[in-house]
Amino acid sequence: MEKKHLVLASGSPRRKELLSQLGYEFSVLVTDVEECKHAQETAEEYVKRLSLDKALAALSLLKDNPSEKQHVASGSDTVVASYLDSETVVLGSDTVVVSQGQVLEKPIDLADSKRMLTQLANERHQVMTAVSVVSEEKQKTEIIITDVWFKPLSEKEIEQYWQTGEPCDKAGSYGIQGLGGRFVTRIEGSYYAVVGLPLFETDQLLQEFL
């Protein structure tokens, strides 16, 4: 039986690292999927749709260009997803932070980061990560919800954190695996889902496809 070809539909270095941690060999293919929440969508529906859209967009791109290699820059590396066949499996994922009924995505500037972190300070919020695995035959999505508690934050702490550059590309304007971890007093759920890819659930999904 031919070995399955796994493609990660994400340019996130954190997801790439976590998928590698599970021991899988894979290519990376990033597509341009608009991240815009529909007015009537719940946070769960939104993160599930984005996760699935990313996976399906990569599958479609490979299908439309079966012989054309897709070169994608990921950090300092260039990786190649080169073909689609019946053995190709694509993994997509998305993460959002939900606080007081609001979806907090990546901050656009310091003011936006301040708004988010002030809202998260001394409160509980939820991190929702969806993982989608698709092939030409089937598709499946899991959503993992983790509760996270923050300590109180001063304006000075928030400004200093922004200056590190870490919040810029993080949902909710913080990274639990980095300096932002100092703000977290407690979590209930999956730490790795907060980072960007829940290891257990991702592995279970992939075993159904690979």
**pLDDT (tens place) for every residue of the chain, 210 residues total:** 457 889 999 999 999 999 999 999 999 998 888 888 888 999 999 999 999 999 999 999 888 775 444 444 333 343 444 455 557 999 999 999 999 999 998 999 999 999 999 999 999 999 999 999 999 999 999 999 999 999 999 999 999 999 999 999 999 999 999 999 999 999 999 999 999 999 999 999 999 999
Q: Which pLDDT score, from 0 to 100, does residue 85 have? A: 58
CA-based torsion, 37, 41, 44, 48: positive or negative: negative
pLDDT for 1 equals: 45
Residue 34 has a pLDDT of 84
Give the pLDDT of residue 52. Answer: 97
State the pairing for strand pair 5-8/88-99. Answer: parallel
Show the domain range for 81.
5-209
pLDDT at residue 148, as a whole number:
99
SS3 70: strand
Instruction: With 0.85 as the threshold, say if the pTM is over it.
Output: yes
Q: Which pLDDT score, from 0 to 100, does residue 4 have?
A: 82
In 151-207, beta strands by DSSP E = 184-188
Looking at residue 145, what is its pLDDT? 98
Residues taking part in catalysis: 94
Instruction: Supply the angle between the helices 110-120 and 155-163 in degrees, to the nearest 10.
Output: 130
For residue 142, give the nearest of 84, 73, 207 by alpha carbon. 207
- Contact between 71 and 32 under an 8 Å Cβ cutoff? The reply is no
- Are 151 and 120 within 8 A, CB to CB? no
Number of domains in the chain: 1
Q: What's 119's domain CATH number?
A: 3.90.950.10
pLDDT attached to residue 7 = 95
pLDDT at 129: 98
Q: Rounded distance, CA 77 to CA 80, Å?
A: 10
Nearest to 205 by CA among 96, 128, 90: 90
Q: Which two tokens stand for residue 145?
A: 């919800």
In one letter, which amino acid is 160? Q
